Amino acid sequence: MRLKKQYLALIVVVMLVLTGLLASWIVGSVQGAKVAYVAVRADKSEFGMDENVTFSLVPLSQDVQFTVSGEHDSAGVYIVRLADDIDPDTYLDDSNAVQNISVRARSDHEPVIPIPRYNSSGEPMRMSWNRTIPQYDAERGGYVWYKATEGTYLLYPVYQWEYGHATKFMLERASIFHLDGLRVDHDISLDDSVFTVRTEFSLPEGAGPMSGLFTTILPRNPDTFNSTMTYHNETVELVPGQTTTVTITYPASGSYGPVTTSMSAFLIVGDITYAFGFWPYIIYDHVNNNTEVRYVQY
């Protein structure tokens, strides 16, 4: 009789252990099937001319464990300048627009804020951007950071790896913000194989006047074999509420496909240097066999 009781007790213990393991497996399976949603939100929609941009990573899913990290060059929260002629809300609803953003986010001109290892056990992660963008400097053999210009920007997170689950960053209206400051607009035209680039500068009301040096390297003339770089330097005087224009012309180059151009330029104001420019992308219409050249500012 005592032996039967011992066997019965052993069976109960085994059943309890198996029940615990089964419950753990079920919880783990459900946990693994869930998606951890994390929002990226700017603290406000408008940042002044001298303010750093502050934002947070905010967990949206309750009781869903996650761990993400983005501390390498290809991961983190990218700060992407949006096109001035497109409604910012388009990037929240149009998957093609978001796909274009994901490609742009890895360009040389978009700053990225590393994401330290972050998991569901912590509070929202506070982060900030100091309004600078990278430009590669061949002479220095690396990137140099310069002041960003006015515009509408998107916080676009890309993580390096995730652990034991699926994590999805959610883009919201709070992921988009406007940065006040020096405004730069480019008008690019091509006529008789000559590019004309008009760059307009303006300051917001309430800012002080500025005097600075505009400088850029002109594309090499395709009709000559001269490898010497040619600079365009011009002093500009900026007054709030007024527009100052710099006009540059140079020969177009390229004999295959659509003819395009690009520019990387700087405005040096005292000990502050602003970086800006544009690069082309081509839209192909295979149905009508047409191409359209557009330019993205940064």
Instruction: Note whether 216 and 248 are within 8 A (CB).
Output: yes
pLDDT tens readout for residues 142-168: 889 999 999 999 998 887 666 656 778
| CA-based nearest residue to 165, from 22, 27, 10, 17 | 27
Q: What is the pLDDT of residue 275?
A: 95
CA 56 to chain centre: 15
Q: What is the pLDDT of residue 119?
A: 77
Measured from the Cβ of residue 4, the count of other Cβ atoms closer than 10 Å reads: 8
| Coil vs helix vs strand at 110 | coil
pTM recorded for the entire structure: 0.80
Q: What is the pLDDT of residue 280?
A: 85
Q: What is the pLDDT of residue 263?
A: 93
Q: What is the pLDDT of residue 123?
A: 82
Q: What is the pLDDT of residue 243?
A: 96
- Where the chain has pLDDT below 70, the residues are 1-34, 70-74, 95-109, 122, 160-165, 221-227, 254-257
Q: How far apart are CA 205 and CA 49, in angstroms?
A: 11
Q: Name 189's bridge partners.
A: 196
For 193-239, the DSSP string reads TEEEEEEEEE--TTPPPEEEEEEEEEPPPTT------EEEEEEEEE-
**Residue at 205: amino acid letter:** E
Q: How far apart are CA 68 and CA 166, in angstroms?
A: 10
